[in-house]
Structure formats: structure tokens, C-alpha cells
Structure 1
Amino acid sequence: MNPILAYRIHNDDDGYRATIESLSNNELTPGDTRIAVQFSSVNYKDALAGTGQGKILRHYPLNGGIDCAGQIIESADPQLKPGDTVLVTGSGLSETMDGGYSSEVRIDHRHVIRIPDGWSAREAMVLGTAGFTAGLALLRMQENRQHPDLGPIAVTGATGGVGMLATALFHRAGYRVHAVSGKPEHAELLRKIGADVVLTRESVLTDKAMDKARFGGALDNVGGRTLAALLAQTVAYGNVASCGLVSGQDLPATVMPFIIRGVSLLGIASAGTERDIRERVWQLLSRHFTIEAMAALPVREIRLAGLPEVFAQMLSGQSFGRVIVRTDGEAC
């Protein structure tokens, strides 16, 4: 049996550190399904876990990576045959069990999703957890009667993974998108993938509990004052989906948008989503993202050795677009 190559995170007497290691199969956390991982992706949560800047892992050591895609080696589920191409997002990866920055993952079959028809493992991770989060936000908003006629959708953090994919997804689902970004140098690319308008971060801020309604709804990756401002500027019965806290976990808002305009604040917690909802989200994503559409997105491919540099860029606000991680073969 070939050794498993993994990006493994430790926190012990020698300090917090991550190294590329060769493991045996019995060193992985248990699960009734084995997946030969081909690709994972880099998300903000991965950067926090990989550097120790966030308390993500519940115990150590664990392999990093909160998602993965690859082929079934074996499974207790008779519906999952060897060679089937599948994906996993969240579900305890790199939190309570070994994650996707590894050439193999073991996990309970209940968390395994078949990749949409026609997609490869690489294409699944071009979307990955970030795309799943954007898709879950769209699903929840539409379930709560979000409609293009309500007005444009503001997407904050639009040059990050979730924000970029949300910009493309909401556009492809028929919404006008106002992409909010602090990186004007990427405005043209945001327009190319679906933004009708590109706004600066400062232009959406307000200190008013209620301000002029300018957005039909929003997907917010930032939190703090930005989230409060979006709530204050959303039309009656619009939805604001919250899925990130780049600028902080506080919410300096009032109840006024809720009780005067009926605005809904929807929490988007992708990691623990039930399987039936996961399947619906991936079906939604497959309807709106063709292979050609994914090929037009800014995507960079690295191997395990490139993770520290990407983590540093992400945590300093210098990252752009999607980074996927090839996990089969060599580390460099």
C-alpha cells in the first residue's frame, strides 16, 4: 500500500506548526469510506487552521483542508462504487477528522456527494467549499422569496473565493450584482464574470440604523459595520445572507431593518449542512455553472508545498480568485 502524503497540522510542546508528512492508512482518522483525493481547495478557514490564527481544529494532529474531491477506493455504502468520482465539503474535515490536504481521506459515507455529471474532481474543487457556500446562500434566499425584481444583490468581499463565485452565480441565476471590493484593480474581471456594478467598500457604509433602500438583498463575507450597513440599505422583505467575518464578529446594528422593512438576516453555516440540502445545492450549482463558465474563472493550481504562501496572502488580504490544491503525486 502506497504511503499517504499529507499536509499535517500539529500543536504540541514544540509549538503550532504544519509539515508535509508521509502517513500510513491506519494513521488517518476512521471512516467507512476511503477516497483517493485528487484535488482540494484553499478557503479562509484553511488559512486560519494552517497558521494557527483561528481555533479551527478540535484536536491535533490533523491533516488540513476542509474539502476534497477524488475517487472512491472502497465504501460501506453499496451505492458508492470503487472509481466513482465524489466530493466532500465541511463535515468535520480539518476540524474533527483528517482533511483534504492529503492523497487519501477516510470519512463516513453520509458526507460523500457524487460529483455532478460531466464534472471532474478538479472542476468540483474550482467551486469547492466557496462555491457551496455561495450556492447555499442563493438557495436559502430563494426559499425566502428572494427574486430579481426586488433589486440588485450586493456581494461583499467580491474578489475572495466565496465573493467571486457568488458574483458569477447570482448573475447566472438572473440577478443584477453589485460587487463590493477594496481592490479596484480587479474591477474589470469582476464585470467579466457577472458584476453589473463594482462598488468600493466605503461606498456601502452608513452609520444610520435605516438608510435609503438600494439593494434587493446581499451576500456578506465581511461582517461588522459592513453587514450592519447592508441590513440598513436592503429593500422591504429582502434577504441578507451572512457567511463571513473578515472584518470582525461584532454586529453594530439595530432591529429597525427587521421590524420596519421586514428584512431577513440568513445565517449561512456550510460545514454542518444536512445531506439532502447538500445535494440540492450541488444540483443548483450544476444548473448554473457549465464547464465553460468555470474555465473562465481566475483559478490558480498549487501543490501541498505552496500552501503556506497562499495562506499568508489570504490572511493579509492579498489573495484573489480561487486556489485549488493538487494532492495526488508529489508535494511540490
Structure 2
Amino acid sequence: MAMFKAIRIDKAEKGTSVALTQFDEAELMDGDVTVAVEWSTVNYKDGLAVTGKAPVVRRFPMIAGIDLAGTVTQSSHPDWKAGDKVICNGWGMGETHLGAYAERARVKGDWLVRLPDGLSARDAMAIGTAGYTAMLAVLALEKHGLTPKDGPVVVTGAAGGVGSIAIAVLSKLGHHVIASTGRMAEAPYLKDLGAAEVIDRSELSGPAKPLAKERWAGGIDSVGSTTLANLLSMTKYRGAIAACGLAAGMDLPSSVAPFILRGVCLYGIDSVMCPIELRKQAWGRLASDLDHGKLSEITQEINLDEVIAAGARVLEGQVRGRIVVKIL
């Protein structure tokens, strides 16, 4: 079996240790498809894993990375053959199953999505779990019945990965997007993505009232905690918020008032174990509803040996948009 480069996380006396090293292909976990990984990306969860700042990793040793795009090299799964271009994200990769920051990955064929026409492997990882999660949130709002004529939609954590893709998609679909950010210097960037308004996150960071003035018909939140509570209190009658993150914390200091007095809905967005048919729908919509020109503008490229430092920058809120990782 061959050796290949990988970012390996091991249990240490205090926390974890992480390093770019050589990994033996014989140590890959069970799976019926082997993929030559060409591109990956750096998400918030990846930052937590490589820095050890949260107990994301549940098996050691672990290869970090929750997203990959590449080419099948071997398969015993009936749906896949050598040469197929595939995407894999979630399913516990980088947490309980050896992940994507490596030149090789072995996974279950049932986890894979075929790379959609019109997307390159690099494009797919410029989108990554962050963008795929944003699209799942958009699909939830659409299923709720939200349309541009219903009023503005708000996006929190707007300059991050989820927020950037959410703004680009929602604006292309015709929505009036209000972007909330703690980095007001990024306002020109957010408006270039399609935001009609940019507000400071401080407007959403104070204690939430049970009900506040109605400001938006819907929203996508990657922040959680008090920010999400404020979003709910300011959502219009029969509006909806899709929640997909916890950058500010896991608590939700809210009340039942928005739900029982305004009929507001709160949709939980899970990207990790999302059913495969919904995954295919989301990736298909990303191929058609995301301006690839804007995607290239919000993307920066790094190599595998730069991932650990990039993960720390993501957690510190120093990264705008998306990072793609060139593996092969």
C-alpha cells in the first residue's frame, strides 16, 4: 500500500496534536469507494478540529477535513466506477471517519454526490459544506413558502462562508437581503455579493425582547445564541428563520412569543446526516443558482500545508468568504 500526505490529529496529554505527515493507505477505514482527493476547503468545524478548541474529533488518529471533491480510483459500489467525479461532505468525515485533508480517502458510496455539470471540483470546494448548508437553508425557506414579495431576508455572519454564499444565492433569486456583520469594513464586499443593506451585528447582540418591531420575513442564521433570539423576535407574522450555526454559542435565550403570537417558524439545518436526495437537490441548485463569477471573487486558494494556520484564522473571524485547499 502507498503512503500519502495527510493532516493527522492525535490524542495528546493535554488535548490533541496535529501535523501534516505521511499516512499509510492500509490504515484507511472501511468503505467501498476510494477517492483521489483533489480539492478540499476550510469550514468553521475544520477550524475547531485542527486547533483542538472543541471536541469535534471523536476517534484517534483522525485525518481532518469534512469536505472533499475528487476522482474515484477504486469502487465496489454499483453506482460508482473509476474515473467518476464526486463530492463528499459530512457523514462524520473528520470526526468519526477519516477525512478529507489527505491525498486519498475511502468512504461509503452511499455518501457520494456526483459532481454536477457546470461545476469543477475546485468550484465545489469553493462552495463546500458552508455553501451547501446555505443552500439547504434556502431550500427550507422556499419550502416554507417564502418569496421575494414577502419582504426582506436577513443573513447573519454575513462575511463568513455560509453568509457569503447565502447572500449571493438569495440576491440572485430576487430577495432583498439584509446582511448582518461584525466587520462593517466588509460592507462593500457584502454589497458586491448582492446585499441591499448592511447592519452591524450589535443591533442583534443585546438581550432579546419577547417581540420586537417586525423587520424581515425570513433569515439564515449561522451565529446562534442572542443573535438568533433577536432574529426571531423581529421576524414578521408567519415568517421563518433557518438556523445552521453556533458561532456565538449553543444557547437560545428566547421565548415562545414569536412562535405562538406571530406564527414564526424556526427551521433547523443539519448538513452532516442530511438525506442523499436532498443533498443532490442542494448541489444541483448550487450549480444553477450561484453566480460563478461571484464565487471566484470570494475564494482564496491555499495548499495542504497551510490548512492548520487557516483553521485558526477562520475561528478568529479573520477570513472573508471561502478558502479552497489544493490537495493534488
In the alignment, what sits opposite 1:128?
128
Q: How much does 1:12 deviate?
A: 3.6
The reply to whether residue 208 of structure 1 matches residue 209 of structure 2 is: yes
Distance change in 2, residues 1:14/1:199 (3 Å): closer
The reply to whether residue 52 of structure 1 matches residue 52 of structure 2 is: yes
In the alignment, what sits opposite 1:268?
269
* 1:159-206 deviations in Å (ceiling 9; x for gaps): 111111111111112211101001111110110011010110112356
Q: How much does 1:27 deviate?
A: 0.9
In the alignment, what sits opposite 2:81?
81
> What letter corresponds to residue 257 of structure 2 in structure 1?
M
In the alignment, what sits opposite 2:138?
138
| Structure 1 stretch displaced more, 171-180 or 11-20 | 11-20
Q: How much does 1:79 deviate?
A: 2.8
Q: How much does 1:2 deviate?
A: 4.2
> What letter corresponds to residue 30 of structure 2 in structure 1?
P
> What letter corresponds to residue 90 of structure 1 in structure 2?
G
In the alignment, what sits opposite 1:151?
151
Identity of matched residues, %: 39
CA RMSD of aligned residues (A): 1.3
| Structure 1 stretch displaced more, 6-15 or 180-189 | 6-15
In the alignment, what sits opposite 2:244?
243
Length-normalised TM-score, structure 2: 0.96
Distance change in 2, residues 1:15/1:224 (3 Å): closer
In the alignment, what sits opposite 1:223?
224
Q: What SS does structure 2 have at the residue aligned with 1:149?
A: helix
Length-normalised TM-score, structure 1: 0.95
Q: What SS does structure 1 have at the residue aligned with 2:38?
A: strand
Matched residues in 1 for 2:144 and 2:109: separation? 31
Matched residues in 1 for 2:160 and 2:291: separation? 21
The reply to whether residue 161 of structure 1 matches residue 166 of structure 2 is: no
Q: What SS does structure 1 have at the residue aligned with 2:134?
A: helix
Matched residues in 2 for 1:160 and 1:283: separation? 22
In the alignment, what sits opposite 1:232?
233
Matched residues in 2 for 1:140 and 1:83: separation? 34
Unaligned runs of 5+ in 2: none
Q: What SS does structure 2 have at the residue aligned with 1:175?
A: coil
In the alignment, what sits opposite 2:29?
29
Q: How much does 1:22 deviate?
A: 1.1
Matched residues in 1 for 2:91 and 2:248: separation? 25
Unaligned runs of 5+ in 1: none
Q: What SS does structure 2 have at the residue aligned with 1:273?
A: coil
Q: What SS does structure 2 have at the residue aligned with 1:40?
A: strand
Matched residues in 1 for 2:88 and 2:178: separation? 30
In the alignment, what sits opposite 2:116?
116
> What letter corresponds to residue 302 of structure 2 in structure 1?
I
| Structure 1 stretch displaced more, 302-311 or 213-222 | 302-311
Matched residues in 1 for 2:31 and 2:119: separation? 25
Q: How much does 1:15 deviate?
A: 5.1
